[in-house]
A = this chain, B = another copy of it.
Amino acid sequence: MTERDHRGLLIVYTGRGKGKTTAALGLVLRAWGQGLRCCVIQFIKSEKGRWGEVQAAQRLGLEWHTLGEGFTWQAADLGPSIAKAREGWQLAQDKLASGDYDLVVLDEFTYPLRFGWVDPAAAVEWLRAERSPRTHVVITGRDAPPALLEAADLVTEMANVKHPFDRGVRAQRGIEF
């Protein structure tokens, strides 16, 4: 593979529909199948071990970090959540600058950006200037900030056309989690 072939892309999966995290997982599976080096950092999901993807990652030997413990916008005191989000972003920066990865997923990273817990303009500039130029980065979550959309190479908006919860169907193991 030549240098020209290999430029790290900034990919954003946003929108209110289902499929953002799952699409990122699919990219990880595809990249893993190609023998690429992958890392997933989850910023929100907190129920460690329950999620099928976490169990799959363990079985695949994928590097997987869950920053979700204590991270919620429902808490009365947001201090720990903000600290956790910034810790996650620091970890992400370490991974993205290292050159050790072909693909890094920042799952649900749009939320700390939207809340201003991590400054969107500074984060986008960092991704442009400081990340290893050969590392693909995938960011998921609703309401991606405009600066991120502007900087991205690929943006897909997942629009919710129809959702089973609307019909009173409960979350399904292996599908929703």
Contact = CB atoms under 8 A, between A and B. Distances in A.
A106 to B, nearest CB: 15
Most B-side CB within 10 Å, residue of A30, A56, A59, A164: A30
Query: How many copies of the polypeptide does the oligomer hold?
Result: 2
B160 A158 contact: no
A175 interface: yes
Per DSSP, are chain A's interface residues mostly helix, strand or loop, or mixed? mixed
A15 B159 contact: yes
Given A26-B29, A156-B158, A159-B159, A7 B172 contact: yes
A52 interface: yes
Nearest to A103: B174
Interface in A9-57: 9, 11, 13-15, 17-36, 51-57
Contact of A5 (B57, B136, B158, B170): B170
Given A9-B169, A22-B23, 6 more contacts: A7-B169, A13-B19, A18-B23, A22-B22, A36-B174, A157-B158
